[in-house]
Structure 1
Amino acid sequence: TNNSMGVSPGRKLEATGLAGLFDVALSSQMIGAKKPEAAAYIAIATALQADPRHCLFFDNKRSCVEGARATGMRAFELDRTRADHDIPAGVLRDLSALSLILDESTN
């Protein structure tokens, strides 16, 4: 989900060639709630037809990560200033650890 107004997230993904990698693209304007409001995360899970506990969430804002965690999502803060990942603490330098997280989530 994206808190910005204006261009739809679907169009942004199409413009970058990433549209095929996402099942759902939502904006705050579309769902009527902004991160870190719980309603935003519930709307995402609902659109995916998934229990929030089965969702992974990534954001560079700690408040948004905490909002996702409050709804039961497994959430990670992206902090590009870090030297390395701290997966147990839920902080990643970048998405290069994604395969490790997905492996943990499926086991």
Structure 2
Amino acid sequence: MKNNHINYIEFRAKDLLAIKAFYTKAFAWNFTDYGPSYVAFAGSGVEGGFEQTDEDVINGVLVVLYHEDLALAKENVIQASGTITQDIFSFPGGHRFHFLDPSGNELAVWSYQ
């Protein structure tokens, strides 16, 4: 993995069973469940996942970058006039934070640490 490269794409979905059935049938993707509200996919050309939500999905894509030093990446985002929307938190597999770019696009940065 390389710092500052897109590493993962995360979508939102209301019904994980329906979303898995659709992408399996339409594109032959493979899935791994991580609890009742998250499923990761493989076989799409880029790794990603679907997070279950009860809210309406308007812009359901979260692009996730990788950086080995989350504190440095967070500081770089702040110095570049980005807005932190979720501070560094842990999840199965590592830690990450979310931010808005100057146009209001939400992205995330993750690391194993």
Give your verdict on TM over 0.5: no
Provide TM-score, normalisation by structure 2.
Answer: 0.28
Q: Which has the higher helix share?
A: 1
Q: Which has the higher strand share?
A: 2
